[in-house]
Amino acid sequence: MLSASARTLHTLPEDQPDLAAMRKWVGSLLGDLPEDVRLDVLLVCTELASNSYEHATGPRAVRVRRYVDHIRVEVDDHTPASLPQLGESRLGNSRGRGLMLIAAISRCWGTREMVGGKTVWAEVAA
C-alpha cells in the first residue's frame, strides 16, 4: 500500500489502453482507504488515462501521490498543444463530460506543460 506522502509511477501501454490493469494497480496502492474515496480515485484515474488515449499521443504514464489529506493523480502524455478544456469536446456533443466528472469529484484539477508534453492532474480528498 502507498503510505502518506509517497508516490509511485505506472507506465501505460503505448497502443491500447489497459485500464483494468491500471485500476488494479491503483486499487492495490490505496487498499486501506475508505471504499468511497478509493472508487473516486479509480474513476479519476480512468477518466484521465482514457483522455490521454483519446486526445494525445504517448508515451503515457500515471502517477499516484498520497498525502495525509488527499490523493493526487497525474497522467503524462506527449501532446503539449492540446490542453483539455472543461465541457468542450472536439469529438461532438455527446462527448466531453469526463472533465466535468473529474471537476465534480475532485477538490481541484489542472494541467501543467512539460518539455514535449503535458500533465493533467486531479486531487481527491482522502
The tens-digit pLDDT sequence of the chain (126 residues) is: 566 555 688 788 888 888 999 999 999 899 899 999 999 999 999 999 998 888 888 899 999 999 989 999 999 999 876 666 666 555 555 556 788 889 999 999 999 998 889 999 999 999
Q: What's the pLDDT score for residue 85?
A: 62
Return the CATH class of domain 16-125: alpha beta
Q: What's the pLDDT score for residue 20?
A: 92
Task: Please say whether the beta carbons of 35 and 109 come within 8 A.
Answer: no
Q: What's the pLDDT score for residue 33?
A: 93
Q: At what angle do helices 98-105 and 35-55 cross, to 10 degrees?
A: 150
Q: What's the pLDDT score for residue 104?
A: 92
Q: What's the pLDDT score for residue 100?
A: 85
Task: Please say whether the beta carbons of 30 and 41 come within 8 A.
Answer: yes
Distance CA 37, CA 43 (A): 10
Please report, for the chain, the start and end positions of each structural domain, with discontinuous segments joined by +. Answer: 16-125
Distance CA 33, CA 30 (A): 6
Distance CA 36, CA 112 (A): 27
Q: Give Dmax (Cα) for the chain.
A: 41
pTM: 0.84
Q: What's the pLDDT score for residue 54?
A: 84
Task: Please say whether the beta carbons of 118 and 83 come within 8 A.
Answer: yes
Task: Please say whether the beta carbons of 19 and 46 come within 8 A.
Answer: yes
